[in-house]
């Protein structure tokens, strides 16, 4: 439990592309650039999966990449968390009917936070990570579909 | 490129390939389709390269289409003759139960990607290409069953 | 270091940071950016066109539960439920809708650890039968 | 100590070291496995192993209706989604015999050129990152955000535009938005000029780029390499100039080529195209024709006549082609997508030979790889022909032939 508390001060992210269209990948990349600067929260991209705390999964999880994803997850040190970024990683998106995809990261590993969107904006990715950190703190993370529309057009 | 000039280029192209052409028609937008016999494909390419030069054209893509009702597989070679700004499509039909066609790999090295792709997805054997093999992009569970995904009766 | 880079460094030192202090300050999102959307059940006629046209099969037509005042135009009493996990926010449903029934927002903060659907949002647009409709 | 071996003799001990790079690797942002075989520090053989990103999109396109496919093919590649959608939409328009209005053609080109700007900025930034110049990467990504904002103003989303529709585009532009995009373009152009200067002046960048990854023009054509890679070797091939689709017949632009043939030339071609694209966007915004651009999607044709068409488009990475065939049903009979990355990655493994291991990521990046593009269907290249009993030096020389 204590180790979980420590992780929340500086979670290091590992990004794995399981067959994404690169849309989510460039948004994950954009999210670490000066405009959004997640290092304010101690968030940093880790060079190797063995240094990471949070695995960011993008893409529809093709059957070949699914095996890799499982192996990567097993190589991560405890405690570890998985964030699914984008409609594809959440549920398969437009590719859910294809013969070659498993459709959804939760088919392979346990997912702690879903960030829907195609692709989600960098702010949305930050928002998801902040919600994950709050969840680690004991608070409730998810409040999707709260019934409050904002900025309606 | 429009009008007279384009027509002149197309006519010269048809003139070059007239020994091999079974029929000639147009595909939208303004691509010349020339139907050739599958065994002549290599000769046609040698001829094209000798006329337009090795730096005058490249093979853009190979398209395989399955026609189960006619028991045929159609293999189209899309060639961009960029030295004269035109596209030519070489169309061949091969039997569906024994899809074989000579490989172009030694004449056009750029055919590699298209041939591997057409083999794995449609099962067209390019004779003389040593790199053909299954399940490089089709997942193992499907290729092990011997299914070619792009065939109409593959059921995937 | 070249002079051009030195100039850049000096400019960087004396200019305001570009970073958006995200959770404290909201990013300026275009008002017509494609965000969360849901059906307005006052306008929806239950034609299922959006469910047919959705490229990701994210829309499922469901029966409106008992106890809601459903407009007469929606004879079959069904309404579209958008699965925000599957939705790719292409707004094809918005543009094909014959009655323009979709309410679009620029809401993008959708991260959640549980399922996210438009059920509650849509049902909130119509009044419950027991309560007299307000306004 | 070994005795000196005659050059004609065969060394049977496998001296080569096998180094897998990818699919999850800090130097490679793409799900691709490059198997390098190195003799000391020198690459003698490269296997490109793929399949991690194959999503079976061509089959998926046959299973969905014509209109749903517009959004599916847009998701072949996130970085170049408008060109994918545009190419498919134009192929379908050919089958339907529909011509979009002039304003829509201009807006389509605007969306595609904005995409080219952000794609080129991205790959130039990644180039800087790979040679170890992280500061420049951060600066360029910072300015790329402005282009993303312009895209958001135009299309309503930062990345996935979903902007193309049969018979037009899906959103129009008002005068306020035109002004805002023009302002952004001015800001970006100034910055791009600065980055060009950095690329030209910086010693580190020059040392890592100049003379590395040389591809001869004859190799470019015979291996079907396209786009900036071909243009950097002096081959003047550009589908915008050749096919003159959409509004490219009215908008003035130059085809940028370079004679350098190396990584540096490819970077310079991309810089040249950035300026061309910025000028084209500016021309479009100041010469936008009046009239309707957005078709009513509820009244589009529902019946598709039998027929076939072949559309091409110049994507940021090169020539992208779509072959669409209709049998008269509501679903396409065959959709064939050939992306530029397929040719540029699969057919180019010869370019790594005789380079140092450390140069592999930068050569790879100079092709502007987009694995998601190429792998909706495809591939492997093994130079396995070269497994012969020859000396390692001969082996490497052989590979270049």
pLDDT tens digit sequence for A86-143: 998 998 888 888 888 888 888 899 999 999 988 899 889 888 988 888 887 775 544 4
Q: Taking an 8 Å Cβ-Cβ cutoff, which residues of chain D contact chain A?
A: 23-24, 26, 29-31, 51-57, 59-60, 63, 71-72, 75-79, 81, 122, 138, 141-142, 144-145, 148, 158-160, 370-373, 375
How many C×D Cβ pairs under 8 Å?
57
Name all chains with 3 or more CB-CB pairs below 8 Å to chain B: A, D
The dihedrals phi and psi of A23, each to the nearest 5 degrees, come to -65, -50
Residue of D347 and D400 predicted with greater confidence:
D347
Does residue C19 sit within a domain? no
- pLDDT at residue number D16: 56
CA D270: distance to chain centroid? 11
Does the pLDDT at position A23 exceed 90?
A: no
Over pLDDT 90: what percentage of chain D?
Answer: 40
Judge: C96–D298 Cβ closer than 8 Å, yes or no. yes
Does the pLDDT at position B86 exceed 90?
A: no
- Tokens in use for D38? 């190195």
Quickly state the pLDDT bin for D393 (edges 50, 70, 90).
Answer: very low
Does residue B29 sit within a domain? yes
Highest mean pLDDT among A16-25, C24-33, D118-127: D118-127
User: Reading across the β-sheet that carries D307-315, which strands appear in turn?
Assistant: D307-315, D318-326, D332-338
Residue of B61 and A2 predicted with greater confidence:
B61
Judge: D60–A30 Cβ closer than 8 Å, yes or no. no
Domain ranges of chain D: 17-53+342-400, 60-339
Domain ranges of chain A: 2-136
How large is the average pLDDT for residues D35-46?
74
CATH class for the region spanning D60-339: mainly alpha
How large is the average pLDDT for residues B35-55?
87
Lowest mean pLDDT among B17-26, D112-121, D159-168, D282-291: B17-26
The dihedrals phi and psi of A112, each to the nearest 5 degrees, come to -95, -30
Q: What is the CATH number of the domain that holds C51?
A: 3.30.70.3270
Q: Does domain A2-136 have CATH number 3.40.50.12280?
A: yes
The residue written with tokens 């910086």 in the block is D202
pLDDT tens digit sequence for D218-237: 888 888 888 899 999 988 88
Other Cβ atoms within 10 Å of B132 Cβ, number: 18
In D343-372, the residues whose Cβ lies within 8 Å of chain B are 343, 346-347
pLDDT tens digit sequence for B93-136: 999 988 999 998 888 888 888 888 888 888 899 988 888 877 66
Measure the CA–CA gap between B92 and B104, rounded to whole angstroms: 14
C-interface mutation test, from D134, D298, D302, D330, most C Cβ less than 10 A away: D298
- pLDDT at residue number D169: 93
Lowest mean pLDDT among B81-90, C75-84, D243-252: B81-90
Q: Which residue in chain D is spatially nearest to C51 when comparing CA positions?
A: D68
pLDDT tens digit sequence for D72-85: 998 888 888 899 99
Quickly state the pLDDT bin for D346 (edges 50, 70, 90).
Answer: confident
Q: Which residue in chain B is spatially nearest to A61 when comparing CA positions?
A: B139
Query: Looking at CA atoms only, how far is residue D163 from chain C in angstroms?
Result: 9
- pLDDT at residue number C4: 66
Q: Which residue in chain A is spatially nearest to B135 when comparing CA positions?
A: A64
Q: Do strands D318-326 and D332-338 pair parallel, antiparallel, or not at all (unpaired)?
A: antiparallel
Segments of D111-172 assigned E as strands: 164-165, 168-169
Confirm or reject contact between B43 and chain D (CB < 8 A): no
Judge: C20–A35 Cβ closer than 8 Å, yes or no. yes
- pLDDT at residue number D7: 42
The domain tally of chain C equals: 1
Do the chains B and C touch each other, judged by at least 3 C-beta pairs below 8 angstroms? no
The answer to whether the CB of C80 falls within 8 A of the CB of C51 is yes
Which residues of chain D neighbour A119 with C-beta distances below 8 Å?
78, 158-160
Query: Looking at CA atoms only, how far is residue A138 from chain C in angstroms?
Result: 14
Residue of B107 and C98 predicted with greater confidence:
C98
Confirm or reject contact between C98 and chain D (CB < 8 A): yes
Quickly state the pLDDT bin for B3 (edges 50, 70, 90).
Answer: low
- pLDDT at residue number A51: 86
Over pLDDT 90: what percentage of chain C?
Answer: 36
Judge: A62–B139 Cβ closer than 8 Å, yes or no. yes
**DSSP state, C117?**
B
Measure the CA–CA gap between D239 and B60, rounded to whole angstroms: 12
- Tokens in use for B2? 């429009």
Does residue B136 sit within a domain? no
How large is the average pLDDT for residues B36-60?
87
Nearest to D64 among C4, C18, C55 (CB): C55
Domain span at residue C64 reads 29-123
Does residue C97 sit within a domain? yes
Does residue C58 sit within a domain? yes
Which residues of chain C neighbour A103 with C-beta distances below 8 Å?
none
pLDDT tens digit sequence for C28-63: 788 888 999 999 999 999 999 999 999 999 999 999
Residue of B147 and D45 predicted with greater confidence:
B147
DSSP for D178-236?
HHHHHHHHHHHHHHHHHHHHHHHH-HHHHHHHTTSS---HHHHHHTT--THHHHTTT--
Over pLDDT 70: what percentage of chain D?
Answer: 83
Does residue C65 sit within a domain? yes
The domain tally of chain B equals: 1
Quickly state the pLDDT bin for B18 (edges 50, 70, 90).
Answer: confident
Do the chains D and C touch each other, judged by at least 3 C-beta pairs below 8 angstroms? yes
The dihedrals phi and psi of A101, each to the nearest 5 degrees, come to -115, 150
Lowest mean pLDDT among C6-20, C30-44, D18-32, D190-204: D18-32
pLDDT tens digit sequence for A72-93: 899 888 888 999 999 989 988 8
Query: At a CB cut-off of 8 Å and minimum separation 6, what does D339 contact?
Result: D76, D77, D315, D317, D320, D370, D373, D374, D376
Nearest to A113 among C111, C117, C120 (CB): C111
Does the pLDDT at position A36 exceed 90?
A: no
Which residues of chain A neighbour D79 with C-beta distances below 8 Å?
22-23, 26
Helices (H), chain B: 3-16, 41-52, 111-122, 140-143
- pLDDT at residue number D91: 93
Question: C43-73: string of b/e by CB count within 10 Å (b at 16+)?
Answer: bbbbbebbbebbbbbbbbeeebeeebebeee
pLDDT tens digit sequence for C115-124: 888 888 999 8
Domain span at residue B95 reads 3-111
- pLDDT at residue number B91: 92
Quickly state the pLDDT bin for D17 (edges 50, 70, 90).
Answer: low
Q: What is the CATH number of the domain that holds B42?
A: 3.30.460.80
**DSSP state, B136?**
S
Which residues of chain B neighbour A99 with C-beta distances below 8 Å?
139, 142, 149, 156
How large is the average pLDDT for residues D198-202?
88
Judge: B149–A99 Cβ closer than 8 Å, yes or no. yes
Quickly state the pLDDT bin for D391 (edges 50, 70, 90).
Answer: very low
């Amino acid at each position: 439990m204590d180790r979980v508390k420590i992780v929340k001060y500086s979670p290091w992210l590992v990004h794995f592309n399981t067959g994404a269209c690169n849309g989510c990948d460039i948004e994950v990349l954009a999210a670490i650039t000066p405009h959004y600067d997640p290092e304010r929260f101690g968030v940093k991209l880790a060079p190797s999966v063995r240094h990471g705390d949070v695995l960011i999964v993008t893409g529809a999880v093709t059957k070949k990449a699914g095996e890799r994803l499982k192996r990567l997850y097993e190589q991560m040190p405890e405690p570890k968390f998985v964030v699914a970024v984008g409609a594809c990683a959440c549920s398969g998106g437009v590719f859910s009917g294809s013969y070659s995809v498993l459709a959804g990261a939760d088919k392979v590993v346990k997912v702690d936070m879903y960030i829907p969107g195609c692709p989600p904006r960098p702010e949305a990715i930050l928002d998801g990570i902040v919600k994950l950190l709050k969840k680690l703190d004991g608070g409730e993370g998810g409040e999707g579909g709260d019934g409050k529309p904002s900025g309606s057009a | 490129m429009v009008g007279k000039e384009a027509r002149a280029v197309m006519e010269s192209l048809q003139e070059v390939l007239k020994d091999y052409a079974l029929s000639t028609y147009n595909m939208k937008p303004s691509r010349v389709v020339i139907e050739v016999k599958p065994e002549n494909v290599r000769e046609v390419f040698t001829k094209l390269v000798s006329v337009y030069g090795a730096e005058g054209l490249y093979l853009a893509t190979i398209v395989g289409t399955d026609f189960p009702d006619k028991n045929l597989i159609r293999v189209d070679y899309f060639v961009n003759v960029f030295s004269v700004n035109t596209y030519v499509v070489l169309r061949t039909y091969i039997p569906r139960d024994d899809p074989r066609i000579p490989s172009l790999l030694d004449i056009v090295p750029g055919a590699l990607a298209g041939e591997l792709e057409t083999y794995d997805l449609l099962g067209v054997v390019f004779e003389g290409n040593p790199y053909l093999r299954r399940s490089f992009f089709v997942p193992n569970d499907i290729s092990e069953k011997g299914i070619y995904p792009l065939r109409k009766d593959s059921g995937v | 270091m070249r002079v051009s880079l030195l100039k850049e460094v000096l400019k960087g030192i004396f200019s305001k940071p570009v970073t958006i202090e995200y959770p404290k300050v909201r990013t300026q999102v275009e008002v017509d950016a494609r965000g969360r959307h849901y059906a307005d059940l006052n306008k929806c006629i239950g034609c299922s066109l959006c469910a047919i046209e959705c490229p990701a099969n994210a829309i499922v037509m469901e029966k409106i539960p008992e106890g809601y005042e459903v407009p007469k135009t929606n004879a079959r009493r069904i309404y579209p439920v958008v699965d925000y996990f599957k939705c790719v926010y292409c707004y094809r449903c918005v543009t094909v809708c014959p009655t323009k029934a979709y309410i679009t927002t620029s809401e993008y903060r959708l991260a959640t650890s549980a399922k996210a659907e438009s059920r509650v949002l849509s049902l909130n647009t119509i009044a419950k039968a027991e309560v007299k409709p307000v306004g | 100590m070994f005795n000196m071996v005659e050059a004609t003799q065969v060394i049977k001990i496998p001296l080569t070291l096998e180094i897998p790079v990818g699919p999850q690797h800090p130097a490679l942002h793409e799900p691709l496995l490059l198997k390098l075989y190195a003799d000391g520090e020198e690459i003698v053989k490269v296997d490109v192993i793929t399949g991690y990103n194959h999503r079976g999109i061509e089959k998926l396109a046959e299973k969905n209706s014509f209109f749903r496919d517009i959004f599916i093919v847009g998701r072949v590649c996130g970085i170049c989604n408008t060109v994918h959608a545009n190419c498919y939409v134009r192929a379908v328009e050919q089958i339907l015999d529909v011509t979009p209005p002039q304003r829509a053609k201009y807006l389509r080109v605007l969306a595609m050129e904005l995409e080219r700007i952000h794609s080129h900025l991205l790959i130039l930034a990644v180039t800087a990152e790979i040679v170890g110049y992280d500061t420049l990467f951060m600066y360029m990504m910072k300015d790329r955000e402005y282009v993303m904002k312009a895209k958001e103003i135009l299309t309503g989303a930062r990345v996935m535009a979903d902007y193309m529709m049969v018979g037009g585009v899906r959103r129009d532009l008002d005068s306020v938005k035109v002004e805002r995009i023009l302002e952004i373009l001015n800001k970006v152009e100034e910055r791009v000029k600065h980055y060009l200067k950095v690329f030209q002046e910086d010693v580190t960048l020059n040392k890592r780029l100049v003379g590395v990854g040389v591809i001869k023009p004859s190799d470019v054509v015979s291996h079907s390499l396209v786009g900036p890679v071909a243009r950097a070797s002096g081959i003047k091939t550009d589908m915008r100039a050749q096919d003159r689709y959409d509004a490219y017949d009215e908008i003035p632009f130059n085809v940028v080529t370079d004679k350098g043939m190396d990584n540096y030339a490819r970077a310079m071609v991309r810089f040249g195209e950035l300026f061309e694209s910025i000028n084209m966007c500016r021309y479009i915004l100041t010469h936008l024709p009046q009239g309707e651009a957005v078709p009513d999607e509820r009244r589009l044709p529902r019946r598709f006549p039998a027929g076939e068409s072949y559309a091409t488009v110049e994507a940021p990475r090169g020539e992208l082609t779509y072959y669409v065939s209709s049998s008269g049903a509501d679903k396409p009979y065959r959709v064939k997508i050939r992306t530029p990355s397929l040719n540029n990655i699969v057919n180019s493994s010869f370019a790594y030979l005789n380079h140092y291991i450390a140069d592999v990521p930068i050569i790879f990046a100079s092709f502007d790889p987009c694995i998601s593009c190429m792998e909706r269907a495809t591939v492997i290249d093994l130079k396995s022909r070269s497994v012969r009993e020859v000396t390692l030096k001969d082996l490497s020389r052989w590979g270049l032939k």
